[in-house]
Structure 1
Amino acid sequence: MRTDLVDLRLFLAVVEAGSITAGAARAHLSLGAASERLRALEDEAGVALLQRHARGTSSTEAGEALAHHARLMLRQHTMLQGELREFADGARGTLHLYANTGALTGFLPGRLAPWLAQRPRLRVDLKERTSVEIVRAVQGGQAEAGIISNAVQTGTLQVQPVDDDPLLLVVPAGHALANRSAVDFATILGQTFVGLADGNALHDHVQDHAREHGRELATRIRMKSFEGVCEMVGHGIGVGIVPRSLARRYRRRFNLQLVTLEDAWARRRLSLCFARWNTLSRPMQSLLLHLGGNAVSGTAEKV
């Protein structure tokens, strides 16, 4: 039996009103249109659904069965609409967010928690990637948006700074620079460094600035993670350059001293990146606005 929601609502309106005329009015249909729909409904069912008499109408036994299931179907439809609205509004479903290590450990927990607490049916799948990997994923359409360092090249992507995360020099306790509050990069180029693995965007970034001074970093060992860098530094293997959010995280564990780098290029910022605002899902737009972004269109912001 093929029926649509208009037919079901009409039929229930007629049953509850006890009259086709009154039921048609409740369903916002003309009497002629309502009568035609009811006849088609009975023809499709192959059985009489209404008893017509001088005082109005009443449902047959088959009509009572239809009315019962119509109420269930309309209730389910209302529930479905509500759930779909929750998905559309970002209150339900799964949102995939890409972020670099600094954003995951320092920036996101405090910012994301209150937003997520207001959406108990929404899941957020946080994916940790390097800033370069996030840019590639967004450019290739594998990710809607990400949180990156503004030190990486982003091409035509929209970029919106949302938090400061400068680079700091980390040294072991007792090091000659441990009591300094700030240094410029040129004065530490004679130090032995603990670096990051080949291909790491931050290591390449620092190395490029060393070459601008006509020097190469004297890298004793390269580690795959910032935690590994900090642990090596703590054991006196060398000094390292680490985002502030991570330097603070590992400071006590590895007994590190943190020294500000005075160079402008070291004053990094964490930034949202995405292709175009109007192509983001509503949940992602809501999240990015909460994190400090804004609705934009046009060319990418230069960083």
Structure 2
Amino acid sequence: MRFDLTDLKLFLRVVETGSITAGAAQAHLALASASARIRGMEDALGVPLLRRSRRGVEPTEAGRTLLHHARLIGQQMEKMRADLGEYATGLKGHVRLLCNTSALTEFLPDRLATFMAAHPHVNVDLEEKLSSDIVQAIRDELADVGIFTDWVDSSGLETRLFCEDRLVLALGSGHPLGKGLRKGAALPFAAAVEHDFIGLAGDSALQQYLGDHAAKLAKRLRYRVRVRSFDAVCRMVASGAGLAVVPESAVLRSRDSANIKMVRLSDPWARRRLLLCMRSYDDLPGYARELVDALAAHG
């Protein structure tokens, strides 16, 4: 049984994309060559590695075992490149980083920009996901580092504090929910779900998170408009178009903050700690460890 690195990289790409065609393209192989390589691996093992259907392909039990070992080999290769990279020029490494909406829009850009300026030979593949999906992806070895809220069970993973994050209600100055509220008062999320919301456009992890909490109250949030940034959300709130749930920092830095009443949510899930997570810090390539160190909260 002889599998070369091209076989293993191809198999990883096929499983990750759910398609032999897409996997072949990402591995820079012709479809016929990729199909032949997959068949060759299956013939060598004497068992099928992929289940094929109209929706694409997925790994069999044997395929999942091969996938696990292929990822381990890939990680070792990356670590070797990182260790040897000090003696070469060009790209030193590649890190796949997953994060939730608050981290992506509020806290990550400055720290990540500083790291990348100091490490011009490291590329970072950044993707937004739900915190629960981030933790599962790290467990499944689909990413190197994640940033997620501490309300998600991360047992079995190593974590470090990234930052503190509080979700608040942002209300226009004339919004009925804000009338009669004393300074520093808090409201439950349940008090807001009957009102019109302003939200983020697209498949935002934060909007999914809020939708899940609304569903627990047997409610569905009504969005009058969805925009592309927290700055735009705050402008819409200030104009009286609706209310929003946003990170506290988004309101504080908004140029419309004078026209927004910020009310803290009393729900425990609104007070969050954002954590960095990884399978094993020591097993990360050197450049990935440097990224974790740069992003972790200090002091």
Q: TM-score range by the shorter chain?
A: 0.5 to 0.7
Give the C-alpha shift of residue 229 in structure 1. 5.3
Superposed CA offset, 1:165-186 (max 9, x none):
1011111132241774431316
Query: Aligned equivalents of 1:275 and 1:202: distance in 2?
Result: 24
In structure 2, C-alpha distance between the alignment counterparts of 1:244 and 1:122, rounded to whole Å: 32
Q: Are 2:201 and 1:194 equivalent residues in the alignment?
A: no
Counterpart in the other structure of 1:173: 173
Residues 172-227 of structure 1: per-residue CA shift (max 9 Å, x gap):
13224177443131683475142767985421453267x3xxx7466455848664
Would you say 1:273 and 2:277 are equivalent positions?
yes
Could you tell me how far apart the structure 1 residues matched to 2:247 and 2:132 are?
16
Alignment partners' CA distance in 2, 1:259 and 1:82: 47
Aligned to 1:137: 137
What SS class does the counterpart of residue 279 from structure 1 fall into?
Answer: coil
Match of 1:242 among 246, 253, 258: 246
The Cα offsets for residues 60-111 of structure 1, whole Å up to 9 and x where unpaired, read as xxxxxxxxxxxxxxxxxxxxx99933389x9833333222222122212332
Instruction: Check 1:219–1:251 CA distance in 2 against 1; reply closer, same or farther (3 A cut).
Output: farther
Equivalent in the alignment of 2:185: 182
Cα pair distance change 1:262/1:202, threshold 3 Å: same
Structure 2 counterpart of 1:284, from 281, 288, 297: 288
Contact in 2 for aligned 1:170/1:240 (Cα 8 Å): yes
Give the 3-state SS of the residue equivalent to 1:143 in structure 2: coil
Secondary structure at the counterpart of residue 274 of structure 2? strand
Q: Provide the C-alpha distance between the structure 2 equivalents of 1:271 and 1:161, rounded to a whole number of angstroms.
A: 5
- Structure 2 CA distance for aligned equivalents of residues 201 and 220 of structure 1: 13
The whole-number CA distance in structure 2 between the counterparts of 1:218 and 1:82 is 47
Segments of 5+ residues of structure 2 without an aligned counterpart are 1-80
Native 8 Å contact 1:106 1:246 kept in 2: yes
In the aligned structure 1, how far is the partner of 2:141 from the partner of 2:213? 29
Q: Do the aligned partners of residues 251 and 150 (structure 1) sit closer, same or farther apart at CA in structure 2, a change above 3 Å counting?
A: farther
Measured in 2, the distance between the counterparts of 1:240 and 1:82 equals 44
The amino acid across from 2:124 in the alignment is V
Residue 161 to residue 87, structure 1, CA distance change in 2 (3 Å): farther
Tell me the percent identity: 31
Q: Is the contact made by 2:189 and 2:266 (CA closer than 8 Å) also made in structure 1?
A: no
Letter in 2 for 1:130: L
Moved over 6 A (4+): none
Which AA in structure 2 matches 1:105? T
Match of 2:282, SS?
Answer: helix
Distance 1:153 1:195, change over 3 A: farther
In structure 1, the residue matched to 2:214 is 207
| Partner of residue 252, structure 1 | 256
Two-structure CA RMSD over aligned residues (Å): 4.0
Alpha-carbon separation, structure 1, partners of 2:96 and 2:227: 24
Structure 1: stretches of 5+ with no match in the other structure: 1-80, 295-303
Aligned to 2:34: none
After TM superposition, give the deviation of residue 156 of structure 1 in Å.
3.6
Q: What is the count of residue pairs matched by the alignment?
A: 209
> In structure 2, what is the equivalent of residue 99 of structure 1?
99
The aligned runs of 1:39-118 (5 Å cut-off) are: 84-86=84-86, 92-118=92-118
2:69 paired residue number: none
Task: Give, in whole Å, the separation in 2 of the partners of 1:248 and 1:293.
Answer: 20
What SS class does the counterpart of residue 278 from structure 1 fall into?
A: coil
SS in 2 for 1:142: coil
Bigger radius of gyration among the two: 1
**Structure 1 partner of 2:125:** 125
Alpha carbons of structure 1 residues 83 and 265: separation in structure 2 relative to 1, 3 Å:
closer
Is the 1:102–1:246 Cα contact (8 Å) retained in structure 2? Answer: no
Length-normalised TM-score, structure 1: 0.54
Change (3 A) 1:253 1:267: closer
Amino acid at match of 1:203: L
